[in-house]
Amino acid sequence: IYRSLPSQHDQRILAYGCLGLQSELQESTIDDRLEIIISGLCQGYRRMLQSPDIPHIFHDRDFIYMLRELRFELMNSNEIEKTSIGEITPRSLLRALEDNFHGVRPDEFNKLV
């Protein structure tokens, strides 16, 4: 079964949901750095899917599991408990990418960035 790419908007909603964040509250509760990371992950995933240089062995499942792994780095914002959103560290980002996209060779990765 072939699935077309989701729209960029739908992909962002998926990313926020997998991270346990509410996209409609993003401007008030999410800092710019986290927004940049989420946008970059969505953009990178789209590039990978559209690249003729990378074998088409990855699917939405890989993207979703990577985001779910990153979710553990974040704390949900909760008005009652006064918790705040944590951050995605470079180490946790690298680990999540390696765990879920380890089939991309270094030369293929360099073509994406």
CA separation for the pair 16, 26 (Å, rounded): 9
Residue 28's contacts (CB-CB under 8 Å, 6 or more residues apart) are: none
CA distances from 49 to 34, 39, 66, 78, 93 (A): 23, 16, 15, 35, 19
pLDDT digits (tens, 9 = 90+) for 60-106: 899 999 999 999 877 644 455 544 567 788 888 888 988 988 877 88
Residue-range domain boundaries for the chain: 8-112
What pLDDT score does 28 carry?
Answer: 54
Q: Tell me, what's the pLDDT at 2?
A: 60
The rounded distance, in Å, linking the Cα atoms of 39 and 3 is 22
Regarding pTM above 0.85, the answer is no
